[in-house]
Chains A and B, each alone.
Chain A
Amino acid sequence: MTVRRSIAVRPSIAFVLALVLVAPPAMLRGNNLLVLLMSLVLAAAIIGLIGPRLALRGLRVNRLLPRHGKVGESMRIRYRIGRTHGSGMPAFALRVDEHLGGAQVDIDHPAWVLHVATGDTVHGDMHVTPTQRGKVMLNGATLGTGFPFGLWRRSKTLAGAREVVVHPRTVPVDRAIMRSIRGRGLDGPRSGRHRGHGEEWYATRPARPGDRLRDIAWRISAHRDELIALERTTPQPPRIRVVLDLRRATAELDESDLDAAREREEQAITLAASILQAGHEGGDEIGMCVLGIPAAVHAPRRGSLHLDRMLSTLALLDLDTPRVNTAPPKGERAGAVVVQPDRVRPLVGFNDALHLSARTWFQRAGADMP
């Protein structure tokens, strides 16, 4: 991205400097040209003071928020700026600034709208990149403009407080690892009692247009004197369960200092989120539980909403809460992966699970990983 150099001198400061340059000689020398120039500057100041007030009259702002954001990915916050009534003067060069709180974000560029006339509704986008998981608090949208001369900027806060959940960052997970996780549960796809296009069948029914020829049960059809089709089962995808083990307090982790330990915990969360994401993309049923911190337990399922819920759970994990030594839940029949921050420690009941430590993972992955 091109780095833009902001204008060093603010217009209001430039205005004051211009006045300082012109006013004393105008008053002392009695040169009417300078008095005229000074009059011009003062008149511009007066218009610059009134203009923004008129422009901001009757403006309304609504936010159109995304469902969630993701650490390291640009997030668009859209503002709907409308004007039902006003002073008659169209508003120009409107900038929306958000009072942000909560999770840290970098503002790529604020929302800016060229023109809003009476009766118009215009959309402006603010692009932010979250740098921390959690909740981004949007405490109020301030609509401001310096039009016409930019000498004085006037703004008013229009939209109320809202929040957006920022999911943890995800990194690519190797397919081999995903295969090894799946292999630790049921061996390959299995049949479930759902309709689909699998290999096994469980019922028959009268044939309908569109049925494939190989689905026709010819012998039964001959017997009943009508075309009968086979109902086949659908293949059930592999199931993966991610267990994020955060039972050890940050200070007890095998790290040099607290900051490194906290960083390692964040990496563990990132790794868990990455496995969930990879499983979802691979078509697996995914579930998750967090040990040590009170959080919802998610049974293995498929679907984007389910993934969002799990990532939101990870996003809202508060690592400052006191850890509890919770027992791991009795797992369903699923391939399990246990993610721990600093090093692998055996977990009762998960003997056949794949154990991963964030430290090993990210050290192997390379220096560019968080």
Chain B
Amino acid sequence: MTIDRMFNWSSATLMLLSVVGAGVALDAPWLLLAGGMLVVIARLVTDGPRGRVIGRRMSLATTLAAALWGVWRIAMDPGDPLPAIVTFALCLAVIKCFENRTMENEAERIVLCFLLIALASMVSVEALFGLVFMLWAPLLCTVLLLFQVQYGRRTFGTREGSDQSGTPPPAGPMARRHLVNVIGVSLFLLVMLSAVVFIVFPRALTGNLALASAASIARTAAGTTNHLELVSGTRVLSSDAEVALVTQIAGNEPPGGVLRLRTGTMSEYTGRGEWHPSPLAEEEPITGVPMWRVFGSTEVEHPDEFRIELTEQLNWLPVPAGAYAIKTDRFTRIGWDEMRGVLSAPPHAAPERYDVRVAPGVIPATPFVETYWAWPDPDIRRLAENILTRAGLPTFGPASVRDREAWIKEAASAFVAHLRSGKYTYTLDLTRVGQDDTLQLSRDPVTRFLLEEPVGHCEYFAAGFTALAQAVGIPARIVTGFVAYDRDDQRRWVVRDRDAHAWSEVLINPEQWMAYDATPAAGPLFSGPSADRSILGQLQHIRSRLEIWWYGDVLGYDASAQRLLANTWLPGWRQSITDGWRTITHWRDRLDLAFGFGAAGTIWLMVVCGLGVVGVIVLWRRRVRRRALVRLLQLSDGVCAVADVAFYGELLHMLDRAGLTKPRHASPLQWCDTVEAARPAAAVSMQALVGVLYRRRFGHGDDTSADAIKHHLQGVAEGIAAGRPSA
């Protein structure tokens, strides 16, 4: 393939990909189709010597129309101008495709492509857009590379060897082969370098991804917050970042090898999707010490014992249900909420490692009454009653405690069965949920989930279950925490960010809660290897893995993931820096102790150290220059001191800056003649300096003073400044 064809094809494909990317980002299939088709048509129409292009006036008129359209759209929706701007840029790109295929227009098209994708990146985080982006980026670099070659060929290469049509001469096969190789190597380096820059770019600057992109992305909240807010129109992200490592020291393994760690409970629904803990809940401060500290009321003879090592600072300590005693690695203050059965830690001061004792299979309840949903939605109550009726259960609980417990268990099972019946879909992508204004959807996310749009993630299922239970008078609450499946080589549960989960607890009798998980175990984050062995199933599995990679590792790469990566890849670097800083402060303190120079002395010391560093750099640079001079003049020992001929290096440096670089093959005298022709005003001084150099270099001795040499150097500088001779 010739370079012309390579450039034309890659340039057209780049434009097509940019338009497709913008269409995907805007989630406008008609725009995608129309834009893509127009780009393809433009390629066909403008191609070849008989290609038709639109004139300047037409181009300006269509651009103006697109701009007016964009302004009108912004005026209609001033709160979100970005889609209108992207659409305008897309129109501009399509118009540009129909213009002349000069190199100037090609350059403008490349700039437009970049602009289009940059703007689209601000709008969309779709996996499909990511795929387009991943194809677009290397193609852009290829086009840039080819543009360099093509611009020169078309601009400067038309005179020799070309035909009368102005077509540049063809490039030889070796040039093409080398060009392809260079493109390959450049792309490889580009991918590697950009990956490194992406990984090491300080995420502290970027702030919290969840806060920054709240409009389109939400991190899974379960396990890290004390309240729950069901937000629609978002996509939940999670990463593989480790949160904790849990080792079972004593007791029986949890059923199925699945460990549930609780961090919080919420029982009161305030409407509009917000769940809060009961306001009656109170924290009792306890002091964590390196010995067992019992805080719960339920003690058992053979408890389960777990060691939990936190790798991420949390405000609530994840513990299994039924925890009643704790042993921390150091003294620390912990809050114990008996009503909710959760432990809290001071901000950024959670113990790194703690052991807990757990009463197996028991979730004790307190005599205090939690507050629940005050005014349950009548529609939800009707739904709950329908479910119970279909299950053959009474809609009101029996009066006796034993019958009531049985009824509660059966009712809870009926609600779980209803939510897992297949009518409700588990998804982390809620970007389209609750966004369709034409459906007159309820503004209450729980009502919407249970009755109108049965799509949601674990928080929706837990909230739906709890709402159904509370609607028929069953005390229930949402529990947030982690469900750990993975284990490492040492049989420790590896609790990851993606293991965050929400489920429910129901008060079956005044002394005991029972856990119910209404979430169908079909979410991509909880799925193992795909069970579906068909090609479609495998493709679905690959797609889901790619989505997880894209959302989790690329888009969800944040400060914590960066820290984790750094801790994994560079073990001990932080320790080394800390040790180094400790050593510095240690020596500073010792010096302070010895001489007592205080803060001012420290500043002076820093200034002196700084000057020392600058001095070392200056000396190093001088040494490099001297070495270069020794090499240039081939000075061996005993010929003459480098300092005696240092002025020659300065002279060459001066000439070099004026664009008169001395070729290696030219002798100083020859170079003197050349400079004389180019800068006659500098000739006399330069001849004098070269004379001094020869006399000193070849051992005849010279007594020219340093002032005289400086004067000659000044003369050369003035001669250079005088400029070139006139004709």
B-contacting residues of A (Cβ < 8 Å)? 2, 4-5, 7-9, 14, 18, 21-22, 25-40, 42-44, 46-47, 51, 89-90, 92-93, 95, 99, 101-104, 108-112, 114-115, 117, 125, 127, 132, 134-135, 137, 139-140, 142, 146-150, 156-161, 163
Are A140 and B174 within 8 A (Cβ)? Answer: no
Q: Can you list 23 A-B contacts (CB < 8 A)? A: A21-B115, A29-B206, A30-B206, A30-B211, A31-B125, A31-B212, A32-B198, A35-B198, A38-B197, A39-B193, A40-B137, A92-B148, A109-B159, A110-B156, A112-B152, A114-B152, A114-B175, A132-B727, A135-B727, A148-B182, A149-B148, A157-B659, A158-B661
Establish whether residues B727 and A47, one from each chain, have CB atoms under 8 Å apart when the complex forms. no
**Is the pair A29, B213 in contact by a Cβ cutoff of 8 Å?**
yes
Q: Say yes or no: A125-B160 contact (C-beta < 8 A), given A37-B118, A115-B171, A135-B727.
A: yes
**CA gap between A334 and B198 in the complex, in Å:** 85
* B118 contacts across to A, CB distance below 8 A: 18, 21-22, 34, 37
Please determine whether B148 and A93 come into contact, CB atoms closer than 8 angstroms: yes
Which residues from A are CB-within-8-Å of B556? 32
Q: Which 7 A-B pairs have the closest CB atoms?
A: A112-B156, A30-B212, A43-B193, A101-B724, A30-B206, A115-B175, A39-B197
Measured CB to CB, the nearest residue on chain B to A127 is B159
CA distance A157 to B103 in the complex (A): 28
Indicate whether A163 sits within 8 Å of B677 (C-beta atoms), given known contacts A42-B197, A92-B179, A112-B152: yes
Interface-side segment among B139-147, B454-462, B464-472, B492-500: B139-147
Known: A125-B160, A140-B659. A92 touches B724 (CB 8 A): no
Q: If the complex has contacts A39-B195, A90-B178, A112-B157, are A30 and B213 also in contact, measured as CB distance less than 8 A? A: yes
- Choice from B172, B194, B671 contacting A43 with Cβ under 8 Å: B194
Closest A residue to B216 using CB positions = A31
When C-beta atoms are compared, the residue in chain B nearest to A123 turns out to be B160
Alpha-carbon separation in the docked complex, A123 to B481 (Å): 73
Partner of A33, one of B130, B189, B671: B130
Q: Would you call A102 and B152 a contact (CB within 8 A)?
A: no
Among B182, B189, B209, the residue within 8 A (CB) of A32 is: B209
Q: A21 — which chain B residues lie within 8 A by C-beta?
A: 115, 118
Partner of A160, one of B174, B209, B213, B663: B663
Cβ–Cβ contact A150 & B727, under 8 A: no
Q: Is the CB of A139 within 8 A of B186?
A: no
For B199, the closest partner residue in chain A by CB is: A39
Residue of B nearest to A96 (CB): B156
Which residue, B151, B208, B671, has most C-beta atoms of chain A within 10 A? B151
Q: Contacts A5-B104, A31-B121, A160-B674 known; A117 to B178 CB distance under 8 Å?
A: yes
* A92 CB contact (under 8 Å) in B103, B133, B149, B156: B149
Whether A149 contacts B145 by the Cβ 8 Å rule is yes
Residue of B nearest to A36 (CB): B198
Contacts of B503 in A (CB 8 A): none
Are A150 and B147 interface neighbours, CB within 8 A? yes
Q: Which residues of B contact A (CB under 8 A)?
A: 102-104, 107, 111, 114-115, 117-118, 121-122, 125, 130, 133, 137, 140-141, 144-145, 147-149, 151-153, 155-157, 159-160, 166, 171-172, 174-175, 178-179, 182, 185-186, 189-190, 193-198, 201, 203, 205-209, 211-213, 554-558, 659-661, 663, 666, 671, 674-675, 677-678, 724-727
Given A33-B121, A44-B144, A102-B725, A27:B677 Cβ within 8 A: no
A137 to B678, CA, bound (A): 7
A125 touches B159 (CB 8 A): yes
Flag if A114 contacts B157 (CB, 8 Å): yes
List the A side residues contacting B178 at CB < 8 Å: 90, 92, 115, 117
- Which residues of chain A have C-beta atoms less than 8 A from B166's C-beta? 2
A43 and B111 in contact, given A102-B725, A114-B175, A163-B677 (Cβ under 8 angstroms): no
Give the CA-CA distance A142 to B725 in the complex, in Å: 20
Q: Which of B121, B152, B179, B203 contacts A95 (CB 8 A)?
A: B152
With contact pairs A42-B197, A93-B149 given, residues A26 and B206 touching in the complex (Cβ less than 8 Å): yes
User: In the complex, A150 Cα to B103 Cα: how many Å?
Assistant: 14
Cα(A178)–Cα(B726), bound, Å? 36
Contact partners of B678 in chain A: CB under 8 A: 101, 137, 139-140, 161
Chain B residues near A163: list those with CB within 8 A: 677
* Chain A residues whose CB sits within 8 angstroms of the CB of B102 once the complex forms: 5
Known A7-B107, A46-B193; contact A142-B152, beta-carbon cutoff 8 A:
no
* Complex Cα spacing A132 to B186, Å: 46
Residues of A within 8 A of B661 (CB): 140, 156-158
Tell me which of B111, B117, B185, B196 contacts A14 (CB under 8 A). Answer: B111
Contacts of B104 in A (CB 8 A): 5, 7-8
**Contact (Cβ within 8 A) B209 A146:** no
Residues of B within 8 A of A46 (CB): 193
Minimum CB–CB distance for A363 against chain B, Å:
27
| Contact indicator B125/A44 (Cβ below 8 Å) | no
Residue of A nearest to B189 (CB): A47
* Closest Cβ neighbor of B140 among chain A residues: A40
Most buried by B among A93, A99, A114, A132: A114
Q: Would you call B171 and A109 a contact (CB within 8 A)?
A: no
- Checking B133, B155, B194, B554 against A4 with a beta-carbon cut-off of 8 angstroms, the contacting residue is B155
Say yes or no: A51 contacts B107, CB within 8 Å: no
B674 proximity list for chain A (CB < 8 A): 160-161
Name the distance in Å between B608's Cβ and chain A's nearest Cβ: 35
| Chain A, Cβ-Cβ closest to B169 | A114
A14 to B104, CA, bound (A): 13
Most chain-A Cβ atoms within 10 A of its Cβ — which of B140, B149, B558?
Answer: B149
* CB pair A39 B198 closer than 8 Å: yes
Query: Once the chains bind, are B677 and A115 in contact (CB under 8 Å)?
Result: no
In the complex, what residues of A have CB within 8 A of residue B660's CB?
Answer: 139-140, 157, 161
Minimum distance in angstroms from B167 CB to a CB of chain A? 13
- The CA of A87 and the CA of B166, in the complex, are separated in Å by 34
Min C-beta distance of A3 to chain B, whole Å: 12
Using Cβ atoms and an 8 Å threshold, which residues of chain A touch B207?
Answer: 28, 30
B194 engages A147 (CB within 8 Å): no
Is B194 in contact with A39, judged by CB distance below 8 angstroms? yes
Chain B positions within 8 Å of A14 at CB level: 111
Given contacts A33-B130, A33-B133, 16 further A-B contacts (CB under 8 A): A18-B114, A27-B205, A31-B122, A33-B121, A92-B182, A93-B152, A101-B724, A114-B152, A115-B174, A117-B178, A140-B660, A150-B144, A150-B147, A156-B661, A157-B661, A161-B660
Q: How distant is B241 from chain A, measured CB to nearest CB, in Å? A: 15
The reply to whether A146 and B148 form a contact with Cβ atoms under 8 Å apart is yes
Q: Which residue of A lies closest to B202 (CB)?
A: A27
What CA separation (Å) do A117 and B173 show in the bound complex? 12
Given contact pairs A44-B144, A101-B678, A34 touches B122 in the complex (Cβ within 8 A):
yes
Chain A CB within 10 A, most for which of B145, B148, B205, B726: B148
B706 to chain A, nearest CB (A): 30
Contact B193 A148 (CB under 8 A): no
Report whether B659 and A139 are in contact in the complex, using a CB–CB cutoff of 8 Å. yes
B554:A32 contact, CB within 8 angstroms: yes
Interface centre among A92, A148, A149, A150 (most CB of B within 10 A): A148
Q: Are B555 and A33 in contact (CB under 8 A)?
A: yes
Q: Is the CB of A104 within 8 A of B727?
A: yes
| Cβ-defined contact, A114 with B209, below 8 A | no
Contact at A134–B727, with CB atoms within 8 Å?
yes
Residues of B within 8 A of A109 (CB): 155-156, 159
Alpha-carbon distance A35/B211, docked complex (angstroms):
16
Least Cβ–Cβ distance between A79 and chain B, in angstroms: 12
A320 to B508, CA, bound (A): 115
Are A150 and B148 also in contact (CB < 8 A) when A7-B104, A37-B117 are?
Answer: yes
Contact A147 B554 (CB under 8 A): no
